[in-house]
Amino acid sequence: MSIPGETAPARTLRSRTLRLGVNIDHVATIRNARGGRHPDPVRAAHQAASAGANGITAHLREDRRHISDADIARLKSELTLPLNLEMAATEEMLGIALRHTPHASCLVPEKREERTTEGGLDVVRGKDHLRRYVEALKSAGIRVSLFIEPDAAAIDASATLGADIVELHTGAYCERALEGDAAGTARELARIGRGAAAAAAAGLEVHAGHGLTLNTVGAIARIPEIVELNIGHFLIGEAIFIGLDSAIRRMRMLIDEARGARD
């Protein structure tokens, strides 16, 4: 399927399949609201796999407000899909990553008081701190991703640090879309498009995520350089109404349609 207005080079660049990483953190949020074991995020990960997810993402936060250490151990031992461990750049988290060796680690900024990861990593000012984490993870054979704003300086600094991947923060784009701010949505989308092109040109693999919904995913999926999306909160929320399997299948279908993988 071609996208109206799309240039031939863009069509050539776009790999037809776009990987979907399902973030299961908020299954654990619901479990933890009562304590105990239900609902089990590892069961959700298995269901995500059968619904068409290509990977599972989990954020082990310093305050363990959702995913626990035991969840990470079970995900690593039970899952056949690649595990993407989101983590702050701290000694404690590095030790855990080196113990479990996930397929990838995505370094994210983390503040205790925030409700979710509110912005990208400050790679420019933080590069001396981040260097040791990037190197230690890569030496253990773990692919390293940096969660950044789609800005040229952050992309250059990520490439200089030797990251394998940048995950571009889609939160501002999704917020403008939710507010019905068409000009703001277009501006943020263009910023992500420019960032994706610059990151790919710098040799980085390009992922994107945060706040994506059925309404906002298509435009991001059409950006040719992006090869993976990580989506959580919307899918788990939607699962309340239509079930996790259906929520993931709908997301997968929109991604594939936008990508032209369902002609």
Q: Enumerate binding residues for ligand PXP (CB under 6 A).
A: 23, 25, 59, 86, 106, 108, 116-117, 147, 167, 209-212, 230-234
The answer to whether 83 touches 58, Cβ cutoff 8 Å, is: yes
> Which CB, 212 or 226, lies closer to ligand PXP?
212
Q: Which of 26, 86, 169, 238 is catalytic?
A: 86
Distance between CA atoms of residues 191 and 170, nearest Å: 10
String of DSSP letters for 128-174: HHHHHHHHHHHHTT-EEEEEE-S-HHHHHHHHHHT-SEEEEE-HHHH
- Least CB distance to ligand PXP at residue 4 (A): 28
Q: Which of 59, 66, 169, 207 is catalytic?
A: 59
- Least CB distance to ligand PXP at residue 79 (A): 18
- Least CB distance to ligand PXP at residue 210 (A): 4
> Which CB, 133 or 147, lies closer to ligand PXP?
147
Catalytic (active site) residue 59: yes
Give which of 138, 156, 158 is closest to 146, Cα–Cα: 158
Q: Which of 210, 225, 228, 238 is catalytic?
A: 210
> Which CB, 150 or 209, lies closer to ligand PXP?
209
> Which CB, 173 or 234, lies closer to ligand PXP?
234
Q: Are strands 165-169 and 205-209 parallel, antiparallel or unpaired?
A: parallel
Catalytic (active site) residue 110: no
- Least CB distance to ligand PXP at residue 182 (A): 22
The answer to whether 23 touches 59, Cβ cutoff 8 Å, is: yes
Tell me if residue 257 falls in helix, strand or coil.
helix
Instruction: Phi first, then psi: give them for residue 213, nearest 5 degrees.
Output: -130, 180
What residues act catalytically? 59, 86, 210
